[in-house]
């Protein structure tokens, strides 16, 4: 019995399964709304299966402490360790902005209209107000960390446009609308390499930023970043390259989201949380 496994064959098997499921849903579900739901649920289920358990995946609306809402987002990857409350009403999740790692628009085709539409959806999340507060880890008190970037992406079955055309559409998305990663599983995946994107900014140890200053810095980060390059995968490994790049972003570029300041949410009900506990 061999003590090795063919990773290429295993990855190809994962992609073949995903392609078959997406294509089946597209071919046999005729109602537009149901077809869209089936595509979203397929991607949600797949990411739930393969991402580490620390990441939650759902369709959701993102909220902030000021009561502002994002658009409804097809797929949200979020945290429940440092953002412990998620509301659910009539089947819709309401997730605090502080807990969001990534947001994706799910469509059948990767084309200009859907790329622009995804940028608008991503912007509706990134513009929300986020908080950051102290945290105790292994008995040590740590000051509020900088707000993390929120990944924005698009997930589709196929595309009929060239890499060059896709690049042109992606480069036109500026500031909060910018896309980081995407996959047209029948054809290719891509990620956008932005200049100096991993190290957003460092807060000096002797500096205490207000929530407003934290948000001003993250908005400035998005407004200033520029595209360095756009990398495309080969057709037969689009799904696994997307997944590996997404996981790399989550674990090595973002790490852990900032801890939510619950006192800012308590203001909505005129309640003051005891800060001295």
Please give the positions annotated as active site. 74, 105, 107
- At what angle are helices 7-28 and 32-50 packed, to 10 degrees? 160
Contact 42, 26 (CB under 8 A): no
Dist. CA 193–CA 229, nearest whole Å? 5
Beta strand pairing call for 181-184 and 227-232: unpaired
Helix (H) or strand (E) holding 146: none
Dist. CA 221–CA 248, nearest whole Å? 20
Dist. CA 276–CA 83, nearest whole Å? 20
- As beta bridge partners, residue 133 has none
Dist. CA 86–CA 94, nearest whole Å? 6
CA atoms within 13 A on the CB side of 129: 12
Dist. CA 189–CA 191, nearest whole Å? 7
Contact 174, 152 (CB under 8 A): no
In this structure, the number of other CB atoms found within 10 A of the CB of residue 51 comes to 17
Which tokens go with 4?
């090795």
In this structure, the number of other CB atoms found within 10 A of the CB of residue 90 comes to 4
């Amino acid at each position: 019995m061999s003590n090795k496994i063919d990773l290429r064959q295993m990855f190809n098997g994962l992609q073949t399964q995903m392609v078959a499921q997406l294509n089946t849903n597209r071919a046999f579900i005729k109602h537009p709304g149901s077809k869209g739901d089936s595509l979203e649920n397929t991607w949600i289920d797949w990411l739930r299966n393969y991402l580490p358990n620390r990441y939650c995946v759902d369709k959701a609306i993102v909220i902030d402490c000021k009561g502002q809402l994002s658009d409804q987002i097809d797929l949200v990857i979020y945290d429940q360790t440092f953002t412990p409350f998620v509301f659910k009403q009539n089947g819709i999740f309401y997730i605090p902005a502080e807990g969001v790692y990534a947001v994706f628009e799910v469509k059948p085709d990767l084309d200009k209209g859907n790329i622009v539409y995804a940028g608008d959806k991503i912007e509706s999340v990134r513009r929300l107000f986020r908080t950051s507060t102290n945290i105790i880890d292994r008995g040590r008190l740590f000051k509020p960390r900088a707000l993390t970037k929120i990944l924005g992406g698009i997930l589709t079955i196929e595309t009929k446009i060239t890499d060059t055309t896709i690049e042109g559409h992606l480069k036109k998305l500026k500031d909060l609308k910018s896309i980081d990663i995407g996959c047209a599983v029948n054809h290719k995946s891509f990620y956008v390499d932005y200049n100096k994107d991993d190290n957003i900014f460092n807060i000096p140890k002797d500096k205490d930023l207000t929530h407003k200053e934290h948000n001003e810095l993250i908005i400035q980060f998005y407004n200033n970043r520029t595209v360095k390059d756009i990398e495309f995968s080969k057709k037969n490994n689009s799904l696994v390259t997307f997944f590996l790049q997404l996981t790399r972003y989550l674990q090595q570029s973002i790490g852990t989201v900032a801890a939510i300041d619950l006192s800012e949410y308590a203001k909505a009900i005129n309640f003051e949380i005891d800060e001295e506990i």
